[in-house]
Amino acid sequence: MKKQIIKLVPVVAVAIMFASCDRAGKDHTGRIYMPDMTYSNAYETYSASEVATPEGVNMSARKPVEGTIPYGFIPDDVKIKTNQALLMSYVAKNHYSHDPAKQDEEKARAANEIQDPLEASAENLAEGKRLYGINCTPCHGEKGEGNGQLIELPSGGDGPFTSRPQPYKTLLPTLKDGAIFYSVSYGRNMMGGYGFQLSVNERWQVIHYIKSLAGITVATGEAVAKTEPVAEKK
């Protein structure tokens, strides 16, 4: 009897092994030392996802959910958090349409709903000048006269862009800060938006600098913060 049992042990072991292999898979991993690593539930970057978005995209890498704001995006400053007109700079992307057909309407809204939260300082002006040189000079020119190298070639000929931007000295005095911020963020006419290239602070730093080119004095953040917050629309 013992001999028969001993002979059956290898057969049973092989049967168990094959049974385990047959059940192996994402639902039945069999006997694995670290199954969560062997069969990870996480999606690899840019791999296909089983669930598609309403637009039909089934990639694992997707844009952030509309209306969300990154942690720490809003400054920990009570003057900003308690003043809607200042706070709107940081949450503008959740409240304004990117639709070009609504550009004039949204720009008018922004003019009344957004105020400059940044303090006027030599440091902000210097950084605005640096960012302006990188992002704005090619079209607007070094002095904001609308004669950048894409408009006028150094040799004197016409550049590839035929639409000449208005000089800041002519354009900016007619615009409120919120309208300027909206145009810089979302674009205007042939100018693309810089909402993705420049942070909120960087956009305001650029605005401080272009206002200086137009001869406009920038109000300090403290002075702006004393204004009454804009009432929410019901």
What tens digit of pLDDT does each residue of 189-205 get? Answer: 778 889 889 999 999 99
The Cα 193–Cα 200 span in angstroms is: 13
pLDDT higher than 50, residue 227:
no
Cβ neighbours of residue 71 closer than 8 Å, sequence gap 6 or more: none
pLDDT confidence band for 210 (50 / 70 / 90): very high
Q: In this structure, are residues 97 and 184 in contact, taking their beta carbons and an 8 Å threshold?
A: no
* Amino acid making up residue 28: H
- Residue-level pLDDT at 38: 73
Whether the model clears a pTM of 0.75, i.e. scores above it, the answer is no
pLDDT higher than 90, residue 100:
no
The Cα 33–Cα 101 span in angstroms is: 59
- The mean of the pLDDT values for the chain is 79
The Cα 55–Cα 202 span in angstroms is: 32
Model confidence over 22-80: pLDDT tens digits? 555 556 655 777 777 777 777 677 777 777 777 677 777 777 776 677 777 888 889 88
Alpha-carbon Rg of the chain, whole angstroms?
Answer: 30
Query: Around Cβ 89, how many Cβ atoms within 10 Å?
Result: 25
pLDDT confidence band for 3 (50 / 70 / 90): low
DSSP β-bridge partners for residue 115: none
Q: In this structure, are residues 167 and 175 in contact, taking their beta carbons and an 8 Å threshold?
A: no
For the chain, the structural domain boundaries read 78-225
pLDDT higher than 90, residue 211:
yes
pLDDT confidence band for 226 (50 / 70 / 90): very low
Q: In this structure, are residues 49 and 59 in contact, taking their beta carbons and an 8 Å threshold?
A: yes
Q: In this structure, are residues 28 and 35 in contact, taking their beta carbons and an 8 Å threshold?
A: no
Residue carrying the six token digits 């990639």? 59
- Token pair listed for 226: 């004393």
The top-level CATH class assigned to 78-225 is: mainly alpha
- Residue-level pLDDT at 7: 61
